[in-house]
Amino acid sequence: MLKDLFLSSGIAGMDIRSLIMIVVACTLIYLAIAKEYEPYLLIPIGFGMLLANLPFAGLVDEGGLLDVLYKGVSLGIYPPLIFMGVGASTDFGPLIANPKSMLLGAAAQIGVFGAFLGALALGFNPQEAASIGIIGGADGPTALYLTSKMAPHLLGAIAVAAYSYMALVPIIQPPIMRALTTKKERQVKMESVRVVSKREKILFPIIVTIVVSLIVPSAAPLIGMLMIGNLFKESGVVPHLVTAASDIIMYVVTILLGLTVGATATGPSFLTAETLGIILMGLVAFAIATAAGVLFGKLMYVLSGGKINPLIGAAGVSAVPMAARVAQRVGQKEDPSNFLLMNAMGPNVAGVIGSAVAAGLLLNMFS
């Protein structure tokens, strides 16, 4: 009886791969708590990874708890709901006030397609390459949505890479921004953004949903949910829906998404050379996206006669509002009186729309 009890325990079923993944899971939890790297996501992702790698627990087996909850990922339900919460807490005013900043958000998507081509060259198929490339958008929900549709077997690696690089924005972006700009460019002070009317803010989500959905129908689930959340906010007549979308629903879905995505990172599927390649290509995608945004910002600097600070181009990735804050900090290191945050928020929120459109284009072409 004692022997049978031992053989049925997780201790007997532990192997080196499970042990390594448990260490990785605990490391993610440590980074989330001690370093505050995306704690709302890395804690559930890390704990889901921990649960999935405990031998004989059965949580990820067919019919297990995490297997059932994973249906929300595989069916593409959780990421759009996250987008609804993002929309309900996002102010598109800086983008409406300066529509040219949409170009910076679009330029940052070059990283997505550059990494896509690189992944193809390394031997990944088009669906896998698209899932790897979207990491460059620095938008976790979009990366998970696209990967669940095109390469679900890569979900664990894509999730860890996407959210890790989102958390490391303050570390990865500044060296690239400083390398590609001059001190004079970094010191440029931009004019304050104009005040946007309530009518403009109400019309914006409706118009964007119609235009984007007609051009790229595959992006409609993400864009539609992002914009209905924003419409809740800007209408001013449904405060309880705003609270539900940006608070209650957002955090519940974040828990479910994190746990189930983390649970896909089991030893046999995660500890491979392919996973290492994905993580490295994800870094390349993010670096290219940052560089493309800054370089396009330099072009706008020249065309505007020196009125646009190229640093705001780095905010064209979709890490809201972290990327905009990084642009602000880098600018203030050169001139403490410079205030770029609101100008950087335009490209930053444009990046959210841009990453969803990029995902839709990839779905249209390769799904």
**CA–CA dist 14, 59 (Å, integer):** 15
The DSSP secondary structure of 144-212, one letter per residue, reads HHHHHHH-GGGHHHHHHHHHHHHHTHHHHHHHHHHHHS-HHHHTPPPPPPPPPPHHHHHHHHHHHHHHH
pLDDT value of residue 252: 96
Mean per-residue pLDDT over the chain, rounded: 91
What confidence tens digit (pLDDT) does each residue in 110-120 have? 989 988 999 99
Residue 273 confidence class, pLDDT cut points 50, 70, 90 = confident
**CA–CA dist 312, 331 (Å, integer):** 9
Average pLDDT over residues 260-275: 86
Among the residue ranges 235-249, 267-281, 312-326, the one predicted with the least confidence is 267-281
CA distance readout (Å), 185 to 302, 313, 322: 10, 12, 21
pLDDT value of residue 264: 87
What confidence tens digit (pLDDT) does each residue in 49-91 have? 999 998 888 888 889 999 999 999 888 899 999 999 999 999 9
The angle subtended at Cα 52 by Cα 47 and Cα 53, nearest 5°, is: 100
Sorted by where each begins, the domain ranges of the chain are 80-366
Average pLDDT over residues 197-219: 96
Residues 6+ apart with CB under 8 A from 296: 103, 104, 107, 313, 316
What confidence tens digit (pLDDT) does each residue in 297-306 have? 999 999 999 9
The HSE-up count of residue 195 (CA atoms within 13 Å, CB side) is 2
Backbone angles phi, psi at 94, to 5 degrees: -60, -35
The amino acid sitting at 161 is A
**CA–CA dist 355, 282 (Å, integer):** 14
